[in-house]
């Protein structure tokens, strides 16, 4: 039998009966941190496991859900503190909300130019191609969220959804759409007429690179999915297409696809989104690369970079 004292990191109305004791009839090797969270919820029904952050008393390291109590350092008589993380939202739902923004904003600005520019816009071939590429990209992202991605974390604080969505809704939504569907890029604009931006060879070459990037990105997402059995947080070393050169080829191909849009249009908005997105993905890639090397040690390929082949 194991008895664990649970106290609140700070006062929360959802757990007025803390501190309390949780008792298990089996050893610390047979119960997980997730079991402890469920037991806390049983005594405090409004404090859902997804809202709980558990730490050992006096420490700051979060106890991982899938670890056994023994692995987490919880023994008979230990005291664990619980912090209420607030209302949560599923990561899958977060992604669906993020990508829905551009899927709604781009058609609105593209098909109703009178509302935004005060008159009709005769769309150039460039605008038509960019519109198709953006819509297909975010439709792909929605489908991947529904049918491909497996998430290591189930939820995030609800308040963060607004911050996360702003990147897509504002930069790749409003800003990008308002810029590239404007009269500046219309069929009769001097910025387009007689320039490379209406050259079929240039446009089709760009779309070819874009399609390569999108399909390659999808391929790497499927590879990552197949590494993690459903319902687990198992991690393994990814191999195969793209992974021979970098730890995060999905980010590299994502960046390459948006580079195409920026080069095709020359739009300040496309380049702003490219810079913001590439910087954030580089930060994530470096962190994941370090985690891979730390977790797998000498087994992890030493010649891989984080995101950009041979560079970073």
pLDDT value, residue 65: 84
Q: What percent of the chain has pLDDT over 90?
A: 65
Side-chain half-sphere exposure of 62, counting CA atoms within 13 A: 11
Structure tokens that stand for 274 in this block? 């490219």
Structure tokens that stand for 77 in this block? 């008589």
More confidently predicted of 176 and 2: 176
Range of weakest confidence among 16-30, 91-105, 244-258: 16-30
Does position 15 have pLDDT exceeding 80, yes or no? no
CA 307, 310, 312 angle in degrees (round to 5)?
40
Please compute Rg for the chain using Cα positions.
Answer: 24
Does position 78 have pLDDT exceeding 80, yes or no? yes
Report whether the peptide linkage leading into residue 33 is cis, meaning its omega lies within 30 degrees of zero.
no
Distance CA 254, CA 274 (A): 10
> Tens of pLDDT along 239-284?
999 999 999 999 999 999 999 999 999 999 999 999 999 999 999 9
Closest CA to 277 of 127, 172, 146: 172
Identify the structural domains of the chain with CATH numbers, from first to last.
2-86 (3.10.20.90), 89-299 (no CATH)
Does position 111 have pLDDT exceeding 80, yes or no? yes
The pTM (predicted TM-score) of the whole model is 0.86
Structure tokens that stand for 262 in this block? 């920026």
pLDDT value, residue 103: 98
> Tens of pLDDT along 115-163?
999 999 999 999 999 999 999 999 999 999 999 988 877 788 888 889 8
């Amino acid at each position: 039998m194991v008895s664990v004292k649970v106290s609140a990191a700070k006062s929360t109305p959802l757990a007025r009966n803390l501190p309390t004791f949780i008792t298990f009839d089996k050893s610390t090797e047979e119960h997980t941190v997730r079991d402890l969270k469920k037991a806390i919820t049983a005594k405090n029904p409004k404090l859902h496991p997804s809202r709980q952050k558990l730490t050992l008393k006096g420490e700051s390291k979060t106890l991982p859900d899938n670890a056994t109590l023994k692995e987490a350092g919880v023994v008979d008589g230990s005291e664990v503190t619980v912090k209420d993380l607030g209302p949560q939202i599923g990561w899958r739902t977060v992604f669906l909300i993020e990508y829905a923004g551009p899927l709604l904003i781009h058609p609105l600005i593209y098909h109703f130019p009178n509302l935004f520019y005060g008159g009709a816009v005769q769309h150039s071939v460039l605008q038509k191609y960019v519109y198709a590429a953006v819509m297909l990209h975010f439709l792909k992202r929605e489908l991947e969220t529904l049918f491909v991605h497996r998430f290591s974390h189930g939820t995030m604080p609800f308040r963060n959804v607004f911050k996360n969505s702003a990147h897509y809704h504002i930069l790749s939504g409003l800003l990008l759409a308002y810029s590239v569907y404007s009269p500046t890029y219309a069929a009769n604009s001097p910025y387009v007429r007689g320039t490379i931006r209406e050259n079929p060879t240039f446009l089709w070459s760009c779309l070819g690179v874009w399609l390569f990037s999108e399909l390659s990105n999808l391929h790497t997402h499927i590879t990552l999915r197949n590494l993690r059995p459903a319902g687990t947080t198992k991690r393994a070393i990814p191999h195969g297409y793209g992974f021979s050169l970098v730890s995060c080829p999905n980010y590299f191909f994502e960046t390459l696809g948006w580079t195409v849009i920026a080069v095709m249009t020359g739009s300040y908005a496309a380049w702003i989104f490219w810079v913001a997105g590439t910087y954030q993905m580089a930060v994530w890639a470096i962190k994941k690369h370090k985690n891979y090397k730390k977790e797998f040690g000498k087994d992890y390929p030493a010649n891989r970079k984080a995101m950009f082949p041979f560079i970073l």
